Structure 1
Amino acid sequence: MQRLKGKICLVTGAARGIGEAIVRAFHDEGTRVIVTDIDEGAARSLAAELDTESFRLDVAEEADWDAMAQVLPVLDVLVNNAGITGFESGPAAHDPEHATLADWRAVHAVNSDGTFLGCRYAIRAMRGSGKGSIINISSRSGLVGIPGAAAYAASKAAVRNHTKTVALYCAQQQLAIRCNSIHPAAILTPMWEPMLGDGPEREERMAALVADTPLKRFGKPEEVAALAVMLASDEAAYMTGAELTLDGGLLAGSAATPG
């Protein structure tokens, strides 16, 4: 049985990585899924493959969200997935001492502002039916500090807390609009490429990155997508304001045997 049949879903940052996996999973579950991304060509290509719609959407731009509201005024599910680390354009300093204000603001514009704008759009688009599901993709980095990625960690923590605010607001408004966050860690997507690099050391770097993960492997985008399907479905009708961690046991504690 298709768990999302009849629903209208929009995914941001959907052209690759976790976003692409969510689009494919939603499509398989029978939904009308809208592919949005700042990379218009990649979004169009994925949408053509799945025989669905695509739009260019820069989540940090209010005007883009206003335009989306005109095109798609009614919605059942929104996945706020678009996000950046700040390392996309090169190895800039992102620690609390050396990060520039411009780099800090660039990360927050996408991750924090983009999520706020997406949630605002979704509430308005779902208010008519009085129900829906907003899924915000945060990160393990939104639950703990990351010394070398101050802006990313702070922005993902903002996503985590705004999720709870939206959940409580919708409940206060007597709307069955649920808002939950997913906190992935060590999911192997193109976002890791700047850190993994090329050459013979790549495998060593990959091994080092997952060494502290009890399951000793990277997660798969499809595993995040499976969780998103559950949150989007009516099976999660009593779940709101929750944060779901998908990190291979990384935050559970040490897997070391007591001495």
Structure 2
Amino acid sequence: MWSDTTVDQDNGNGWAAGESSFMTDRKPDSRATTLGDRLPVPVTISNLNEHFSSQDDKYVIGNFRFATVLTVGTVKDIHQDGTTFTYELCDPSNESMEYRALKYENEGSASDHSAIVEGSRVRAIGKLKGFDGVNTIMLFNITPVTDDKDFTIFELEAEAARLFFQKNMSDKLKSEVTSRGFQGMLAPPKSRGGQQQQGQSSSHNDNKERIYQAPSHQPQAAQEVTLRERVLDILRAVDGDAREEGSNIQWIAEQVNERDMEKMRQCLGDLVELGLAYTTTDEESFSAI
């Protein structure tokens, strides 16, 4: 979901998993383009149909043009041709609005599509592409959505994203004039309440070089979250063609100094389920969204 997926300043991320959020800007002349290329923006199938640009295969909101989307749909039809799965999705809130999604699997892939059946609701993340006049999502990942609350949260997140980019809030947040009076998370950094006390600031400065806490003093759940963050950092640091090809699980394990391969597979599987990573050339290679 949107709250699980943000953009790092140099590499794609999720909306709330990294040091920066969807409010973090880049250079004024490249910010919108960079966000549009890397951010899996949440959008309903209805809005995707209404605001899709066939000229460059982008979902358009204001000045922003997004190549990667995250949506939720109801499966109307499934077709399998070898290792290619075609899903016809419709908007759960407006079944007349449909969209096609394609998932290519490698030979021998261990991916299980049995949980995705006609009538089920799914979360789909992928790149937008037009084929023979048919708008399509080239899937990185597709997973079932079984809880109505998750769908409600998605709808709220999609609407929040639409309003945020349509009103160009990122530029307004940078301006002292237009951001005057904003409160809470929208307030400029210097005007936000809850500043650290002097003693707390000193303690923070002493530890500013430490990114992660020592895992030996953390409960198991916290250690798993820390490993996930470290793996994401590694995947986001990969650039260019190497990022498109993905990184092998053995190499990732070496980078994070994790010898337990079962734990690594579980960690990477969780990242895929959260929509923060996807498999590339095979089931052992991964890249960050």
Which TM class, normalised by the smaller chain length? under 0.3
Which of the two has greater helix per residue?
1
Higher relative contact order (CA 8 A, sep 6+): 1
The structure with the larger Rg is 2
Q: TM-score, normalised by structure 2?
A: 0.25
With normalisation by structure 1, the TM-score equals 0.27
Q: Give the structure with the higher percent strand.
A: 2
